[in-house]
Each structure stands twice: as C-alpha cells, then as structure tokens.
Amino acid sequence: MPELPEVETIRLKLWPLLVGRRIVRARVLRKDIVGFPAARGFESGVAGRTITELRRRGKYLIVGLDRGGELVFHLRLSGHLAVVDRDRKVEYERARFELTGDKALSFAEPRALGRVYLVQASRYPKALAGMLKMGLEPIHDDFDAAYLHDRLRGRTASVKSLLLDQRVACGVGNIYSDEALFRAGIRPLRRAGSLEKAEVVRLARVLAEVLRDGIKWCGTTMGDGRYRLPDGGTGSFQKRLAVFGREGERCQRRGCAGEIRRQKLGGRSTHFCPVCQR
C-alpha cells in the first residue's frame, strides 16, 4: 500500500495538473470502486465541480472541490492516478473524471481494492470513520517524543505493530516502519512499553526523517511496480533502503557484520539487523 511519502508525492505531482480545472463529467466503470455514495449519485454529485486544492491525510489523498466538496481517494495496494488526454484508454481504469482542457483524471486499480468517496466538508460517512480516529503524522510539528511515549507507554504489543496502527503514527506502513526502527536501533518485535526515554526520543526523530527522505526521493517502487508516479515514472527511495527487502544481505551500517533477517509479524514481513537492533 502506498504510504505517506508515496501519497504525498502523488499529491505534489498532480497539483499543477488538476487545481483550477472543472470536472465536466464523471464516469464510474466499476461500481464497487465508489465507497460513498452510490455510483449514480457519485457521478451527478461530481459533475460541474471545480478542483480547488489537493490535500493529504495519512495515506488518503483528498481532492478539494468547490461548494465544500471533497473527493477522497484510498489507493490501497495498487491504485494509480494519472492525468491523461481525454480520449486515451487506460488499462484497469475503474473511474474517470473528464476535465476541462480535453484532459481526464484516470483512477486505475488492477485489484479493484482502492476506493474513492465523495463527501461534503469533511463530514465523513461510516465507510471513512477511521479517518477521524487517526493520530498525528510523524512529520507533524506536534509529533514528538512526548506524544509517542504517551501512545507506547505500558503497551505489550510490539513496537512495529503499534507504528503500523494509524491511531499512533498516521501514514506509516511496512516499509518506513522497518527503516525507522533500523535507524533507531530498535528491534521491531520488542514490546513497545519497554522502550526507554532516549529510545523514544530517537524513534520520534527518525520516523520524521525517514518519511521526509521518502518524499525527497519520490517514494518507494519495489520490484512489483505497484506504486507509480502519475506520469508513469517510479520512485527511487528503494535504492536507499537499509533493511526492507534486503533479507540475507549484509548490514550496510559501518562496522556491522550482521545479516538482514526477515520475520513474519501479524501477517507482514518485518526486516531488521539482529546485530544493530538488539
């Protein structure tokens, strides 16, 4: 699933292509891609609206519309957004928004797991109730050691599983949690409540650092190519990953002879160095 850096990259790339354009017509090509409202009401509710801004909340991309409307995209595993010529066909396209200037915003999703919602002024339906419970993003100014300590204190769950909890660290997923824990020198399976003050301070700092690095390098595109930029290009942060996807390779930290291991945690692959992350 695209994490915060990938969605932020998509937002930045789409902004100059979308803001100020009017949606002439919306076409839903697969009804279950619309999470709210029903497909027919969705199409009529979007038509004629002007795109005013693009925002992001965690892993959600929010397209602001005039009259207080919002299109909320959740890309899930393989959703892809691109601005194309209006007559261009797109493989696995599930919804299309025809725009002024003979352009179209295409929402393609091979697995059909992604969703788009039409809401009014952040009044989210039950299908988006989770957005209201999300915690702070690690790149937010108020995400500091005190905030993180408050959410980890006394918890017996692993620190990795809590970092994946969007109520704790909004926007963090499998890749960036592994990388942050490596930078912090903390074993992913360690009980969250056992972290000492200095470790929490370090973890809060590197969480922000690794996410900002991900944004700087336009996100992470792994070998499956599921995440792509709106123009079809790829991110490059995968070239700078220290542990994720590097099982069996030697640790890159200077002076370390450890070998990167992979372990299952809650159905997900977790990568770490057994030497650096004691």
124 phi, psi to nearest 5 deg: -80, 140
**Dist CA 196 CA 10 (whole Å):** 36
Mean of all residue pLDDT scores within the chain: 96
Reference 209, options 237, 246, 190; nearest CA is 237
Q: Other CB atoms closer than 10 Å to residue 138's CB: what's the count?
A: 28
- Percentage of the residues of the chain whose pLDDT score is greater than 70: 100
What are the tens digits of pLDDT across the range 209-263? 999 999 999 999 998 778 999 999 999 999 999 999 999 999 999 999 899 999 9
Residues of the chain with CATH 3.20.190.10: 4-132
pLDDT value at residue 226 = 85
pLDDT value at residue 48 = 97
Positions marked active-site:
2-3, 59, 268
Residues of the chain with CATH 1.10.8.50: 145-272
**Dist CA 157 CA 3 (whole Å):** 22
Q: Is 238 left (phi over 0), alpha (psi -120 to 50) or beta?
A: alpha
pLDDT value at residue 113 = 94
Domain 145-272 has CATH 3.40.309.10: no
E strands within the chain?
Answer: 23-28, 34-36, 51-57, 60-65, 69-74, 80-85, 93-99, 103-108, 115-120, 261-265, 268-272
Q: Which CATH number fits domain 4-132: 3.20.190.10, 3.10.290.10, 3.40.190.10, 1.10.1660.10?
A: 3.20.190.10
pTM of the model: 0.95
Q: Work out the average pLDDT over 83-94.
A: 96
What are the tens digits of pLDDT across the range 27-77? 999 999 999 999 999 999 999 999 999 999 999 999 999 999 999 999 998
| Residue 218 in tokens | 């336009």
Reference 47, options 65, 29, 61, 33; nearest CA is 65
pLDDT value at residue 266 = 85
pLDDT band at 121 (very low <50, low <70, confident <90, very high): confident
Q: Is the pLDDT of residue 1 over 90?
A: no
What are the tens digits of pLDDT across the range 195-209? 999 999 999 999 999
**Dist CA 207 CA 184 (whole Å):** 9
